[in-house]
Amino acid sequence: MRMRGAAANLAILSASAGLAACTANSPDGNVSEASQPFRAEFNADGLATILSAPPAAFDPVEAPPPVPRTAEQDAADAEFMRVAEFQNSVTDEVQALADRLRREERGNFQTLHYDNEGELGVVFEFLRDGPSTLRKYSRNPTFRGETVRWSQEELMAAADFMWDTFRDDRVIQSTGVATQVVTAQISVSEDEFRALVKRKGVTLPEPVKLVFHAAPVVPISNPPRAALQDEAVPAAVAPHIRIFPRHDRPAGALNAINSRVKVVLKDGCFRAADREDALVLFPFGAQLFVDSANYLAFGSAETPRYARVGEVVTFMGSVHEVDVPELVNPIHAACGPGKVIKVEGLQSASAQDRQDAVDDNANALRRLQNSYGLDEAQARRAMAWLDRRQEANRQVTEDGIALLPITAAMTIDTPPRPVMNASECPAGTSLVSGLCRTPEGYLRPLPEWLTEFLEQDR
């Protein structure tokens, strides 16, 4: 039910009165956790503050052993090597020819791409007489010229048109220019987007191909709402927060970077404690719930690695400021002015760290076996020995603070130095893809630390 004005104030005052009654009945004057809707400090208006929370219990899952490779995977690897060898064999010739074409066929030559299907080749694109033009410059049978319709300038202009026309509507996730096509990733349904195009009275550029990613369908107008009007907030929680703001679109293309933010609650407003207390905009579809230990948490249930309000969350993508009026105005109306940042996910960083440690150890153990020929028991002893040595050699700052050790898993995962000449390989090994390997496929020479371990492990 939508609540406004006096009705909303009454709900908050009622919550405050309930909390006051609990305080009066408590021997030490504090509100008992059992009587609270969730663990928090509540002010006189009933608004909650949560500055920290312990991560929920989480047991990392041991990764199962790798599934044996299939014939299809082997074939895919062989095909990849075939393509790579071809491209490496012609790359210098392709670069020199492309440079010449840019000079002597200015306005005609556009770009080139590798044809990696079937008979491998390189395609040079021209606006006029592609096949005959190329033959004036090269007789390489793997090179072919094609006449294309769109110049690179026209394709880039089509991509710019999509951004310039629909940026304020926030329906474009990304664009990409490929061979004679501009792909535009759309974050709303096709019907909604076509209606938007019609309202704007524009015609989409012909090279543009639309790809829709609206599942579930995302309405074009879905601004953040006050807590008391929000179905993603439990009824017992709603009177104690001002707003639970989420983005109204699924995330588009994200930077390949892992980010972390400590999300807290201050006087009913969600903030990033480690980002100058910036106000927070949550990802599309986020929800709140109270877990079995009475902590306010993100999500719909106690799924593995869920995060509680007051702890650090981790997610893929950069942390960036949001300034879209439809998104930030409701937050400012509820919580006052200030910078608003977007978090892209709500997974517990602590739980993720524990899972990563288990995964890293398992990968390092397999690497010792697969890359250096140790059996499992010997590999486990090697990792334990290396961890002890790394712990003993921890570096210390000028202030006397011991830095975290470089773990065995991190050391083992460091790739060996590439070998450029087969003469550098030890006796009994051969150069394979830049590394020296034994006939069994094991890497040599052994790392210094592993040689030291094996000498004392005999």
* DSSP track, 414-435: SPPPP---GGGSPTT-EEETTE
End-to-end Cα, the chain, rounded Å = 74
CB 146 within 8 A of CB 134: no
pTM (predicted TM-score): 0.75
- 3-state secondary structure labels for all residues of 156-219: HHHHHHHHHHHCCCCCEEEEEEECCEEEEEECCCHHHHHHHHHHHCCCCCCCEEEEECCCCCCC
Give the pLDDT confidence score for residue 24 in this predicted structure: 33
Report the chain (458 residues): mean pLDDT per 10 consecutive residues. Answer: 37 38 37 76 97 96 85 91 94 97 96 93 97 96 97 97 93 91 91 94 97 68 81 95 90 84 98 97 94 95 95 94 92 97 95 94 94 95 94 83 85 90 93 92 94 90
**Residue bearing tokens 């895919």:** 76
Among residues 280, 296, 189, which one has the least CA distance to residue 243?
A: 280
Contact (Cβ atoms closer than 8 angstroms) between residue 122 and residue 98: no
Structure tokens at 403: 């830095």
Here the tokens at position 116 are: 């990696």
CA distance 159 to 184: 8
Residue with tokens 């710019």, as numbered in its chain = 160
Residues 6 or more apart whose CB falls under 8 angstroms from that of 318 comprise: 254, 255, 257, 259
Query: Which among 306, 318, 303, 248 has a CA at the least distance from the CA of 281?
Result: 248
Give pLDDT, residue 329. 94
Residues 6+ apart with CB under 8 A from 88: none
- Gap between the Cα atoms of 40 and 272, Å rounded: 17
- Neighbour count for residue 37 (Cβ, 10 Å): 21
Determine the distance from the C-alpha atom of residue 384 to the mean position of all C-alpha atoms in its chain, rounded to a whole number. 32
Per-residue pLDDT, 2: 35
Q: What is the pLDDT of residue 217?
A: 59
A 10 A CB-CB count for 215 gives 8
Measured CA angle at 148 (ends 146, 149), to 5 deg = 165
In DSSP terms, 278 is beta-bridged to: 272
Pairing outcome for strands 288-290 and 347-348: unpaired
Side-chain-side CA neighbours of residue 338 (13 Å): 19
Closest to 253 in 3D by CA, of 211, 313, 305, 190: 211
Of 190, 245, 238, 177, the closest CA to residue 217 belongs to 190
